[in-house]
């Protein structure tokens, strides 16, 4: 299987499992990161898993930040990070991050 096709298949499998089995989805997304460390989507999706049900918000933040580093022009990431920073009681950092995202849209 071609590498792009493999990545797509893994991301799809992770998304499917994120609904039913979050632990399996974590394993799949970690495999994506191991095999495709420069693709932001697996980091972002893993952040979503850690954020679900407030499982591990610090881990979620770590993965979202890495996602933004890899894809700095994806505006939506900044909104997610800002919302999470508010949840973690860091309103000033949330405002700065939100502003970064707004600058991309200009």
pLDDT attached to residue 100: 94
DSSP assignment of 72-90, as one string? TT-HHHHHHHHHHHHHTT-
pLDDT digits (tens, 9 = 90+) for 16-27: 556 678 888 888
Contacts of 5 (CB under 8 A, 6+ apart): none
| pTM strictly above 0.95 | no
Residue 1 has pLDDT above 60, yes or no: no
| Domain ranges across the chain | 3-104
CATH number corresponding to 3-104: 1.25.40.10
pLDDT digits (tens, 9 = 90+) for 46-79: 999 999 878 799 999 999 999 999 999 999 999 9
Instruction: Select from 73, 23, 67 the least CA-distant residue to 45.
Output: 67
Residue 33 pLDDT level (bands cut at 50, 70, 90) = very high
Instruction: Select from 84, 82, 78 the least CA-distant residue to 103.
Output: 78
**In this structure, are residues 42 and 32 in contact, taking their beta carbons and an 8 Å threshold?**
yes
């Amino acid at each position: 299987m071609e590498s792009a096709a493999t990545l797509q298949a893994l991301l799809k499998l992770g998304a499917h499992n994120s609904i039913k089995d979050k632990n399996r989805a974590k394993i799949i997304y970690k495999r994506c990161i191991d095999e495709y460390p420069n693709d932001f989507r697996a980091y972002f999706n893993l952040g979503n898993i850690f954020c679900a049900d407030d499982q591990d918000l610090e881990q979620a933040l770590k993965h979202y930040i890495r996602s933004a580093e890899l894809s700095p022009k994806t505006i939506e990431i900044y909104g997610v990070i800002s919302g999470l920073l508010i949840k973690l009681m860091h309103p000033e950092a949330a405002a700065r991050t939100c502003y970064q995202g707004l600058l991309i849209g200009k």
